Structure 1
Amino acid sequence: MAQTSRAPRTWKCSGLRWTVGGPELKWDGGRGSPLPRGKRVAFEVAEGGGRTCVGARGHTCPLRAAVPERSTGARCEECARLDRAHSVAADTIADDPRPYHVYLAWFGPGLLKVGITAEERGSARLLEQGAVCFSWLGLGPLMAARRSEELLRAALRVPDRIPYGEKRAVRSVLPGSAAERAAELADLHAQALALREWPESLHREPYQPVDHVDAFGLTDLPAAVGEVSGLIAGGVASGEVLAAAGPDLHLATGRGVVVLDTRLMTGWELIPAGGDTVEFTVPVREFRREVPGVQEGLF
């Protein structure tokens, strides 16, 4: 009697999380896979299933709706709306009694932002965003923290968002010392605390920079040649972890260093890809390299 081969078990990724021990890939069911530097990551996207919505607020999507391959949110329109409606970032919650930190974060030369996070979360939000260094700015009620955000945007033109593409572009060319990396941060912190319109109920925090270069593994990080633009059924990703910052993995592959935004993994059914010579076959958007002395346009 012929034996039938058993189909490999599929896994569903719920994203990269930062723990006390470092970054971990989390899977449906609660299991985690630590991602120390030097670890080999290799997976194949299962054929036939397609990418489906991950749901919202811990609930599965009732429609199991299909979502685009390049979406980092991996949610259908309705689940995205529900998830955002309960998000502090959406400015829809005004009566949260928890104290909130206001922070200033630096991602590279000229890339600074202001943000807020619940005090109980500590620095987890900064690790999730890939902040190279940061400092607390204030602590107090949610609405006072929001007003300080608005104040910095209006008075000092500090944004509250920086695109991930801009963060990735500078990780391999950061200043060498923590003091150099924090110089812009120190200047902005002083300017912010000097503003007259500072909310009275928000306690001002002293400048105490925290550097994440070692936590992320960014020292001597080689420049990336490209980034994964999306997964596809049957596609394979394989490489050695050189660094992890925010949701991004910088992987050493046969084609050079490639950045994988782990948010692109959610919603897919994945299976292990064995062997040390597995090809990297998911779509990659190559980074454009400027050639010195070559002008490609009139201006």
Structure 2
Amino acid sequence: MTPSTAPARVTGWRITGLFWDEHEPCLVASHPDRADRSLPLPRGQELRLALTGPRACVGLWDQRQGRRLCERPLPAGTNSQCPACAEQDRGKQLARDAYVDERTYLLYLAWFGPELVKVGMTAAERGRARLLEQGALWSVTLAQGPLTAVREAERAIRRAALATEQVRLTRKLTALERLDEAARDQAGDDLSRVRERALQSGLLDRVQVLSDQVQDHTAVFSLTVPTPLAPFHHRLDPAAPLEGARLVGQVRAVWGRVLIVDLPGRPEPLVADARLLSGYRLGPAPTAPHALPTRAHTPDTGETHDQIGLF
């Protein structure tokens, strides 16, 4: 490994992600020699983040040992782990059937917008945290059971084209902009229809079917329906490095792992995928935004225009 590519020793506090529990989101920073620190992100929370580089892999989380930071450098983007850590990540191992888990799992449907119903699974002990991490606006829990049986039911529903196993963030954002008063009723109808078809087709025969009601998560995200996301807003550029950027503002909402922030002196909010922040070290708290690589988002067309360093 050449000197230019050799990883530097991990020092200082590094953002390792935005996480949800049953009730609220928080931005977590990790240190190689100290316990993690969490910044709760309720509506109205002041943000003062100075991002310094180089960006590095966030490492691995261990239930007993906590966070083990990694030193390998990472380019800008939503990926927060290097290939070696991603290979060892327990969640990613589960996704590719490379790990056997004895816990009870839940099978759920998540609604993100018209024609955007996702089927997924989560460990029962996590409650609704997985749904909140994904930004599910409405959801329903279909069944529970061991990992293998729940996985088979999930894939059967996907193969029957009743729901998808993945919805990209860009599609979620587009749907969020267009939600209207009818969304609540439509979400309930869509989720109930998929549930009934899965039951009638025998896709849930090997799991324990649950009689859960449709759950509304919009209030937890501090989103209002209609118009949960302003049609005119700025988005953090996913391809631009954030070293040297200063994010100063007030939290308007946290939806999944997306921060919606009001910036001082700007009528339009900033929409920031928090995965883009992961891996950067934290410097002294700034007083004003600076060098944020953003794109102005235009409604309807969805066009964006680069405005690097506008704020």
Task: With the length of structure 1 as denominator, give the TM-score of the two structures.
Answer: 0.84
1:96 matched to 2:101? The reply is yes
Deviation of 1:181 after TM superposition, in Å, equals: 3.2
1:55 matched to 2:55? The reply is no
Q: Of 247, 261, 269, which residue of structure 1 is paired with 2:257?
A: 247
Do the aligned residues in 2 keep the contact of 1:132 with 1:213 (CA within 8 Å)? yes
Deviation of 1:199 after TM superposition, in Å, equals: 4.9
1:271 matched to 2:283? The reply is yes
Q: Of 124, 133, 140, which residue of structure 2 is paired with 1:119?
A: 124
Secondary structure of the residue aligned to 1:51 is coil
The AA in structure 1 aligned to 2:57 is: C
Q: Where does 1:197-216 land on structure 2 (aligned, <5 Å)?
A: 198-216=203-221
- Stretches of structure 1 lacking an aligned partner (at least 5 in a row): 1-8, 292-299
CA-atom RMSD in angstroms: 2.2
Do the aligned residues in 2 keep the contact of 1:147 with 1:199 (CA within 8 Å)? no
Residues 290 and 105 (structure 1 numbering): CA distance in 2 closer, same or farther, change over 3 Å? Answer: closer
Secondary structure of the residue aligned to 2:102 is coil
Deviation of 1:174 after TM superposition, in Å, equals: 1.9
Query: 2:49 and 2:196 mapped to 1: Cα distance?
Result: 47
Residue of structure 2 in register with 1:152 after alignment: 157
Residues 210 and 224 (structure 1 numbering): CA distance in 2 closer, same or farther, change over 3 Å? Answer: farther
The AA in structure 1 aligned to 2:73 is: A
Secondary structure of the residue aligned to 2:205 is coil
Do the aligned residues in 2 keep the contact of 1:133 with 1:209 (CA within 8 Å)? yes
Which has the larger displacement, 167-176 or 147-156?
A: 167-176
1:223 matched to 2:231? The reply is yes
Q: Of 70, 76, 81, which residue of structure 2 is paired with 1:69?
A: 76
Deviation of 1:214 after TM superposition, in Å, equals: 0.4
Residue of structure 2 in register with 1:23 after alignment: 25
Do the aligned residues in 1 keep the contact of 2:246 with 2:286 (CA within 8 Å)? no
Query: 1:85 and 1:105 mapped to 2: Cα distance?
Result: 19
Deviation of 1:285 after TM superposition, in Å, equals: 2.8
Query: 2:214 and 2:204 mapped to 1: Cα distance?
Result: 22
Do the aligned residues in 2 keep the contact of 1:12 with 1:266 (CA within 8 Å)? yes
Residues 281 and 86 (structure 1 numbering): CA distance in 2 closer, same or farther, change over 3 Å? Answer: closer
Secondary structure of the residue aligned to 1:67 is coil
Query: 1:37 and 1:224 mapped to 2: Cα distance?
Result: 20
Residue of structure 2 in register with 1:5 after alignment: none
Do the aligned residues in 1 keep the contact of 2:245 with 2:289 (CA within 8 Å)? no
Query: 2:60 and 2:201 mapped to 1: Cα distance?
Result: 39
- CA deviation string 1:54-113 (max 9, x = no partner): 12344332xx1110111x2321121122226863222212x4222111100001121111
The AA in structure 2 aligned to 1:89 is: A
Q: Paired residues, what number?
A: 274
The AA in structure 2 aligned to 1:26 is: V
Query: 2:158 and 2:259 mapped to 1: Cα distance?
Result: 30
Percent identical across equivalent pairs?
33
Which has the larger displacement, 282-291 or 113-122?
A: 282-291
Deviation of 1:129 after TM superposition, in Å, equals: 0.7
The AA in structure 1 aligned to 2:291 is: T
Query: 2:289 and 2:216 mapped to 1: Cα distance?
Result: 35
Structure number with greater Rg is 1
Secondary structure of the residue aligned to 2:55 is coil
Q: Of 262, 271, 275, which residue of structure 1 is paired with 2:274?
A: 262
Do the aligned residues in 2 keep the contact of 1:144 with 1:199 (CA within 8 Å)? no
- CA deviation string 1:252-294 (max 9, x = no partner): 222611111111111111224443xx23522113334447xxx
